[in-house]
Amino acid sequence: MRGLAPATRKRMHELPLSCAACGFPVPEVVVIGGLRRTACPSCHHSQRIDVEPFDYQGFAMGGPGRTPERLSAQAGFVTPHLADGARALEIGCAAGDLAQELRRRKTFALYHGVEFSPARDMAATRMDRVFTRPLQDLLASGEIEAGGYDLVLSSHCLEHLSVPSDVVAAMAQAMTPDALLFLETPNRSGHARLPFDDNRSHIHFFGVSSLTRLLARHGLETIAAETGARHDARYSDSLRVLARRPAPLRADPTLLSSHPRLAGVDRIVVWGAGRMVEEMLAYYLDPARIAFFVDKDAAKQGGVRLGAPVRAPEALEAGADWTVLINSLEFEAPIRAEIETRFGGRVDRIVAIAELLE
């Protein structure tokens, strides 16, 4: 009879028609601990079919994941991509530890949270406002404004939710067009040496492919991902991602020419009229700043690149105080040596394309 006990408590669900992460039809089924879960052959996502009820109201979230090292690592993952003055919304903010750590490093115009557990009382002292209802409800009622947040965060929350796709859709709705989304979940089992996780409060088991594909279905591109992020001893392999809507593929002719190494230089001589002219300079270097190109290849001399003439290196002798941009990665060192040896008296500054890309 003891073997029947879990079955009397668990909720038997229908087999999902498609994978909750990638949408692949007819996932396979595996049984662990007497409970069924899916195994998606396409993205390797797994979802519980049989779910035991879990009391979140009486469950204090946070606990072991609140070490300074972990909070520092999470904040360090997010802040390089974040401007000051952001409006943030954290789903499942627990006691507000991450909010507190982020606020130490960046200024925020506002920081809101959503938390159902009693930890919300502590969170309310660290944030501007803490909501206690699901994000979908808050958006529907207008309490949370669609498109109102520059940063949406959720750490170790998505795996607990029945339909994470609905929550990701709501998160995307809350985001401004160029907002960032930060998510952290266990990576597969959450532990590199454990093949599976049977935490009864976890309904979804994400991996790199399933989480990024779920986000992609909602128009979000993963721009940074990290595995092996330590939550605690049990979940020492967590998965962190940053995602946003794909930026338009737009050339910016000032991107390289605005580099401090080229500050105050009106007329740049570009050494090297090869492939990188079309592949790199054409998009990211202001052609009005180019005086002329030089190239040792006689076949290129006499031609025109980006509206500027291509000359032999001896053209450097007809002038002084030149700034020469070495337009080569592979031959940077020999070109630099040749400029110094042959034209050292004529050249004021040598800048390598690699420096502009740093």
We find the least distance from the C-beta atom of residue 111 to Zn ion, in angstroms, to be 33
Q: Does residue number 93 form part of the binding site for Zn ion (CB under 5 A)?
A: no
- Give the count of beta carbons closer than 10 Å to the beta carbon of residue 249: 6
By CB under 5 A, the residues from 27 to 66 that bind Zn ion are 40, 42-43, 45
Span interacting with Zn ion, options 19-27, 127-135, 176-184, 277-285, rule CB under 5 A: 19-27
When the beta carbons of 162 and 254 are compared against Zn ion, the nearer one is: 162
Residue closer to Zn ion, measured from CB, 42 or 136? 42
**Which residue's CB is nearer to Zn ion, number 46 or number 327?**
46
**Could you give the 3-state DSSP secondary structure of residue 130?**
strand
Give me the least distance between CB of 209 and Zn ion, in Å please: 8
Which one of residues 6, 13, 16, 24 is an interface residue with Zn ion (CB under 5 A)?
24
Cα–Cα nearest to 29, from 209, 19, 4, 200: 19
Neighbours of 236 (CB within 10 A): 17
Work out whether the CA dihedral 76, 222, 146, 249 comes out positive or negative. positive
24, 160, 345 from 39: Cα distances, Å? 11, 17, 69
Among 21, 78, 168, 239, binds Zn ion (CB under 5 A): 21
Closest by CA to 219, choosing from 168, 293, 266, 148, is 168
Residue closer to Zn ion by CB (options 86, 243) is 243
Q: Are 323 and 351 in contact (CB under 8 A)?
A: yes
The reply on whether position 211 binds Zn ion by CB under 5 A is no
Residue 19 as a binder of Zn ion (CB under 5 A): the answer is yes
Check residue 79 for interaction with Zn ion (CB under 5 A). Answer: no
Number of Cβ atoms within 10 Å of the Cβ of 188:
22
d(CA 257, CA 263): 8
User: Which stretch, 23-31, 226-234, 281-289, 328-336, contacts Zn ion (CB under 5 A)?
Assistant: 23-31
Q: Which residues pair with 250 in a beta bridge?
A: none
- How many residues make contact with Zn ion (CB under 5 A)? 8
Query: What is the contact surface with Zn ion in residues (CB under 5 A)?
Result: 19, 21-22, 24, 40, 42-43, 45
